Amino acid sequence: MSGQKIEYIIFPLNMIQGLLTADESKTKQIVSNIISFGIANFALNYAKYDEATISRQALYLFYRKRLPDSFMKAASKAVEAGKLEINDETMGFTSDGDSFSPEGWEIDSIQRFIKSNAYNNAWDFSKLSFYLKADQIEYCHSVYEKIITSQKAFEKKHGKDVTASLKLTLMYDFFKEPPAPDLLAAYIALRSLQGRKHGYLKTFKKTILLRMSGCKSNDVFKKIETSELLTRIEQIAKRKTFEKLLSRLAERGFLTGRFILPNTNFFLLSTSVDTIEIARLFAETKLKADNSKKQDEALKLFNQLTEK
pLDDT in tens, 39-75: 999 999 999 999 999 999 999 999 999 999 999 999 9
Domain assignment present for 308: no
Residue 190 and residue 272 in one domain: yes
HEC sequence for the chain = CCCCCCCEEEEEHHHHCCHHHCCHHHHHHHHHHHHHHHHHHHHHHCCCCCHHHHHHHHHHHHHCCCCCHHHHHHHHHHHHCCCCCCCCCCCCECCCCCCECCCHHHHHHHHHHHHHCCCHHHHHHHHHCCCCCHHHHHHHHHHHHHHHHHHHHHHHHHCCCCEEEEEHHHHHHHHHCCCCHHHHHHHHHHHHHHCCCCCCEEEEHHHHHHHHCCCCCHHHHHHHCCHHHHHHHHHHHCHHHHHHHHHHHHHCCCCCEEECCCCCCEEEEECCCCHHHHHHHHHHHHHHHHHHHHHHHHHHHHHHHHCC
Domain assignment present for 168: no
Q: What is the pLDDT of residues 23-35, one digit of tens each?
A: 999 999 999 999 9
Domain assignment present for 173: no
* C-alpha–C-alpha distance, residues 254 and 151, integer Å: 27
Domain assignment present for 90: yes
The pTM is what?
0.88
Residue ending a domain, choose from 64, 94, 128 = 128
Which structural domain, as residue segments, surrounds residue 87? Answer: 51-128
Q: What is the pLDDT of residues 226-268, one digit of tens each?
A: 999 999 999 999 999 999 999 999 999 999 999 888 888 899 9
**What's the N-to-C CA distance of the chain in angstroms?**
75
Domain assignment present for 62: yes
The whole-chain average pLDDT of the chain stands at 91
Q: What is the pLDDT of residues 264-297, one digit of tens each?
A: 889 999 999 999 999 888 888 888 877 777 777 6
Domain assignment present for 77: yes
Q: What is the pLDDT of residues 153-175, one digit of tens each?
A: 999 999 999 999 999 999 999 99
Residue ending a domain, choose from 84, 102, 128 = 128
Residue 304 has pLDDT above 90, yes or no: no
290 vs 135, residue with greater confidence: 135
Q: How many domains does the chain have?
A: 2
Q: Are 213 and 182 in contact (CB under 8 A)?
A: no
Domain assignment present for 219: yes
* C-alpha–C-alpha distance, residues 168 and 140, integer Å: 15
pLDDT at residue 190, as a whole number = 97
Q: Are 237 and 209 in contact (CB under 8 A)?
A: yes
Domain assignment present for 87: yes
